[in-house]
Amino acid sequence: MVGPEGALLLALLGLPLSGGSQTANLLPNPSFELVEPPAPTAQCLDPTAASAELWRPRTWDTWAEGGAALTLPDDPAQARTGRRGVHVVAATGLGRLRYQALPVPGPQTWTVTAWARGHGKLRVDAWDVTADPWKPAESRVFELTAAWAEVRCEFAPPESCRKWLLDLITEGPTEAWIDDVQVTCPGLQPLGLPPEGPLARDEHTLLHLPFEEPLNEDAFFVRPQAALTGPDEGRFGRALRLGAGGYVACSANEGLNPQRGTIEVWCKLLSPGGDGIAHGIVTVPGPEGLWLGKDQYSHIHFGFSSGWGRLSGTTAMGYAWNWEAGVWRHFAACWDSELLQLFVDGKLIGWERNPKLSRFLGPELGIGSPGMELDDLRVSDIVRYRQGVPPDD
């Protein structure tokens, strides 16, 4: 129960299998369909050729400790929905699924549901990031059964809580399947990220590049090693591939509103996230600039600069350090005078309240940099995506 200090309330119920919920889900990869290959090993230097079971779910962190094995089989017959579910087998040790960090924008009560089956125990932990880092705010254990059953958790963060994280953990002798995790609250609206299909141009679109046709060289500067791929090599149809000297640019004045907007694009890095190289995805070079991309330290950054110094922005430290090459990832950056936010694969990875914004930017809008492919780029003059975040302390 919630104590006088406002500890997290976490009530766990086992429910029979029923139809799927239609409410909004804060998690962009709830059924683990969005995956990426594992790091190369001595036995398999090509990560894309690794067994499908070894692929990892994006937006989630996973661990297998003390003899446990956590895999992600591509097996629709075993998953509750879609093609995949998390499979944990252990005589000892634990398998852990973690989603972090979830912002707490206000006093609302959150509901977490997950579907699981098997034998053994599944533990659900809720951690208050601003409180004790060694002990979850609340923890409950659910006994698995042979049939799919729903685990439901309701909790109210204490007033001091700004971020929390969710753990789904198996302990001891276990064989468990986990699928379809949801985090929601009253009034939560669907975010719509990452998009399931190609984007469209509308009245708020300043620049839209699906890269299905060659770029008009009267409007774009194109270096020779920037060219379109084959018709089925992009995220949707063709893509723009940038080789060692590849670069594309157009007018920032026509293609970008520095006071408010959204940049959204699919990007495939052709080298690992830990390559030690900075990769700008969308940039405005110069003293009055903008930068969206991965830096040499594997940080993902979006922000504005003025006079060569930082004006505003957000950085997800080391977020790309274990990314493998050749994976399409979706980036979305949104800004206005109230809030600046950065999403990757639909997950909010950084924000800044009341950012300082440029009244004008440099004349050149850079699209991509060497060693990547881009698809379905859209720049808008409105904020298209917004997620609630904590108030400033």
Q: What is the mean pLDDT of the chain?
A: 88
| Whether domain 205-380 has CATH 2.60.120.200 | yes
**Through-space distance between the first and last CA atoms of the chain, rounded to whole angstroms:** 26
119 band by pLDDT with thresholds 50, 70 and 90: very high
Cα(309)–Cα(304) distance, rounded to whole angstroms? 9
The whole-angstrom separation of Cα 156 and Cα 141 is 19
pLDDT in tens, 169-199: 998 899 999 999 999 998 898 999 999 999 9
Q: Where is average pLDDT lowest: 36-45, 53-62, 311-320, 321-330?
A: 36-45
> Three-state SS for 260?
coil
Q: How far is it, in rounded angstroms, from Cα 289 to Cα 309?
A: 9
Residue 7: predicted pLDDT: 37
Cα separation, 286 vs 67, whole angstroms: 52
Domain-by-domain residue ranges, the chain? 11-184, 205-380
Asked whether the predicted pLDDT for residue 344 surpasses 50, the reply is yes
Q: What is the pLDDT of residue 39?
A: 60
Q: Is the dihedral of CA 318, 164, 67, 87 positive or negative?
A: negative
Q: What are phi and psi of 294, to 5 degrees?
A: -110, 130
Given pLDDT bands bounded at 50, 70 and 90, which one contains residue 9? very low
Which structure tokens are listed for 75? 């097996």
Say yes or no to pLDDT of 10 above 60: no
Residue 22's pLDDT band (cuts 50, 70, 90): low
**By 3-state DSSP, what share of the chain in percent is helix, strand and coil, each rounded to 5?**
5, 45, 55
For residue 14, the tally of other CB atoms under 10 A from its CB is 13
**Residue among 11, 163, 167, 124 at smallest CA distance from 2:** 11
Asked if domains 11-184 and 205-380 share a fold, the reply is yes
pLDDT, one tens digit per residue, over 244-284 is: 989 999 999 889 999 999 999 999 999 999 999 999 999 99
Specify the pTM. Answer: 0.90
Please report the pLDDT score of residue 276 as a whole number. 95
In which band, very low, low, confident or very high, does the pLDDT at 3 lie, cut at 50, 70 and 90? very low
| Mean pLDDT for the stretch of residues 35-60 | 68
The number of residues making up the chain comes to 393
Please tell me the predicted confidence (pLDDT) of residue 171. 84
Taking 50 as the threshold, does the pLDDT of residue 18 lie above it?
no
> Could you give the CA distance from residue 314 to residue 302 in angstroms, rounded to a whole number?
6
Topology of domain 11-184 in CATH is Jelly Rolls (2.60.120)
